[in-house]
Structure 1
Amino acid sequence: MFFSNISTIERTIIIGLCAYVSLIILLRISGKRTLSKLNAFDMVITIAMGSTLSSVLINKNVTWAQGTTAFFMLIGLQYVIAKLAVHVSFINKLIKSEPKILYIDGDYHTQAMKKERVMKKEILQAARSQGISSMSEITAVVLETDGSISIIKKSDQDTRETLNDVKGYNNL
């Protein structure tokens, strides 16, 4: 069926605008952390918000007030859990993975690569995307908590302090 009646279209437009404005306001109030790079926890919240928005728009039995309440609850839970993660290490470990060394000083850490399901060609691609032509220009490659790959280039100052919290670095 392509079209049932104009009131269905009007409802979708009105509720869509209201839900969109509500979501934008709540996201702005909740701060930048809500829209940061996604780790698994943030991705679940983002998908849940998208599903909620979809339900509000499509399902006549879900009111704008219910959708806004659901947005508020999801963003509120994300805020509380993220705040707790800053202060309680157990919660931080529960919702975030640790960064891991994949390559350092000319050696690929194949065990970590297998465990994290990262292939050598993905590390090479990450190096190329940063304009690096040779792995000899790299001190370390790190799989970050959000799944991105960071490249640490060799430098004159070899303090490596940015690697101190990376799993697999302190064991070297």
Structure 2
Amino acid sequence: MAEMIFDGWSGLARTLIVGMLAYVLLVFFLRVSGKRTLSKLNAFDLIVTVALGSTLATVLLSRDISLTNGLVAFALLIGLQLIVTWSSVRLRWVRKLLTGEPTLLLYRGEFVAQALHQARVTRDEVRSAVRSSGILALDDVEAVVLETDGSMSVVRRSSYTGPSSLEDVQRYSGRGTG
């Protein structure tokens, strides 16, 4: 029973030393990998983040895993993320596979019922996003878009007739926002 509470100074010293080194090296790897690794999380980014956390915990707490093995695991995960994000920037099909597409939830004051249902988003959540944007009337909203990171973007109506920010949004059929 006492061993569950304290099993010696060597285990404690290992956890402190390996923990500090692993933390510093993980921060270094994340800084080298760029801002994309730490951006708003889509599903792929979340998986990589959880895997990095799990690897850090394993390196810290398992005497069977050396710091070197942990660093190789960190480098592998971050390297794979760099390869996949590099591919997703250059290949649309990879981007769509990993992050999905933004979805139109409200268009010109009208809810898109099928999109709400498929995205499992309520009308109340959409109205809340509109209110958070400082807009009172739904008729003043051109669109509410569920972004690939799970956030909602609210676009005000505008008389502008140039290229629209909605062109890559699933179920958007209009051209311009006028």
TM over 0.5: yes
Which of 120, 142, 154 is the equivalent residue of 1:139?
Answer: 142
* 1:94 Cα offset (Å): 1.3
Unaligned runs of 5+ in 1: none
Q: Which residue matches 2:42?
A: 39
Q: Which residue matches 1:53?
A: 56
Give % identity. Answer: 43
In the alignment, is the contact (CA less than 8 A) between 2:105 and 2:143 conserved in 1?
A: yes
Give aligned pairs, total.
172
Could you list the per-position Cα deviations for residues 73-106 of structure 1 after superposition, in whole angstroms to 9, with x for gaps in the alignment? Answer: 0000000011011222221221111011100111
Q: Which residue matches 2:166?
A: 163
* 1:53 Cα offset (Å): 0.3
Summarize the alignment of residues 10-159 of structure 1 with structure 2, pairs less than 5 Å apart: 10-159=13-162
* 1:2 Cα offset (Å): 1.6
* 1:49 Cα offset (Å): 0.2
Residue 34 of structure 1 aligns to which amino acid in structure 2? Answer: T
Distance 1:36 1:92 in 2: 15
Worse-matched range after superposition: 73-82 or 4-13:
4-13
* 1:133 Cα offset (Å): 2.1
* 1:147 Cα offset (Å): 1.0
Residue 72 of structure 1 aligns to which amino acid in structure 2? Answer: A
Structure 1 residue matching 2:165: 3-state secondary structure: helix
In the alignment, is the contact (CA less than 8 A) between 2:109 and 2:140 conserved in 1?
A: no
Distance 1:19 1:58 in 2: 12
**What TM-score do the two structures reach when normalised by structure 2?**
0.92
Structure 2 residue matching 1:163: 3-state secondary structure: coil
Residue 3 of structure 1 aligns to which amino acid in structure 2? Answer: F
* 1:165 Cα offset (Å): 0.7
Unaligned runs of 5+ in 2: none
Residue 124 of structure 2 aligns to which amino acid in structure 1? Answer: K
In the alignment, is the contact (CA less than 8 A) between 2:144 and 2:154 conserved in 1?
A: yes
* 1:156 Cα offset (Å): 3.7
Residue 84 of structure 1 aligns to which amino acid in structure 2? Answer: S
Worse-matched range after superposition: 87-96 or 75-84:
87-96
In the alignment, is the contact (CA less than 8 A) between 2:108 and 2:142 conserved in 1?
A: yes
Q: Which residue matches 2:6?
A: 3
